[in-house]
Amino acid sequence: MEVEPSLIHRLFYPQVPLVIAAKAGARASAMPVVSYLSVSEKPPIVAVACAPRGFTCKLARRARCFSLSVLGREESSTVSKLATTSGAAVKDKLAMAGLAYSDGTKLDVPVLDAALATLECRLLSAVRLGDHVLLVARVETAYARDAFREFWDYGKYRPILYAGWQGGLSQYDAS
């Protein structure tokens, strides 16, 4: 079958979502993202494609920095909450979703207590491409729990394998 443009991104599923989070002034927000990539190793640069009307995207652009977090499958319902509420509707979307956080070690970004790995990212540029904005950022520091030692230990980390929004967050289950 020919795949229509609005379905093309689903050809990439299942994908492991990250959570992008930012804060500025009294506001904090976060949302799951699957449209991300590691762009460069030296220096470490990543990119995230965000809908420009999204509050988290706007906040990250205002703050000029954001965090990216890896969350395990046990946080699936939290990730769902972050996808179904707009950060514009609440003062602190992380608190609304029950996610405790502290300040970044290098940047003024939210670091989620529940994260198995965190990247603190400084925004380098925001490039409009079609209906999304590509946030290109330098990773100032990254750290992980002991589930990661050069590679992930899948005995300790069960990734979310996002398979699309089908009345809720659906996941691919190989077992």
Ligand X SMILES: Cc1cc2nc3c(=O)[nH]c(=O)nc-3n(C[C@H](O)[C@H](O)[C@H](O)COP(=O)(O)O)c2cc1C
* Total interface residues for ligand X by CB under 6 A: 21
CB 120 within 8 A of CB 141: yes
| Contacts with ligand X, 48-87, as mask; x by CB under 6 A | -xxx--xxxx-------------------------x--xx
- Does position 34 interact with ligand X (CB under 6 A)? The reply is yes
Please choose, out of 32-40, 100-108, 120-128, 144-152, the segment that lies near ligand X by the rule CB under 6 A: 32-40
**Three-class HEC string of the chain:** CCCCHHHHHHHHCCECCEEEEEEECCEEEEEEECCEEEEECCCCEEEEEECCCCHHHHHHHHHCEEEEEECEHHHHHHHHHHHHCCHHHCCEHHHHCCCCEEECCCCCCEEECCCCEEEEEEEEEEEEECCEEEEEEEEEEEEECCCEECEECCCCCCECCEEEECCCEEECCCC
| Contacts with ligand X, 151-170, as mask; x by CB under 6 A | -----------x--x---x-
Applying the rule CB under 6 A, the residues between 87 and 106 that interact with ligand X are 87, 93
Smallest distance from ligand X to CB 35, Å: 3
Please choose, out of 29-37, 103-111, 112-120, 146-154, the segment that lies near ligand X by the rule CB under 6 A: 29-37
Smallest distance from ligand X to CB 91, Å: 12
Among the listed residues 21, 22, 28, 31, the single contact to ligand X using CB under 6 A: 31
Going by C-alpha positions, the residue among 121, 116, 127 that lies closest to residue 49 is 127
- Does position 33 interact with ligand X (CB under 6 A)? The reply is yes
At residue 68's C-alpha, the angle toward residues 64 and 71, to 5°, is: 155
Please choose, out of 43-51, 69-77, 117-125, 139-147, the segment that lies near ligand X by the rule CB under 6 A: 43-51
Interaction site with ligand X (CB under 6 A)? 17, 29, 31-35, 49-51, 54-57, 83, 86-87, 93, 162, 165, 169
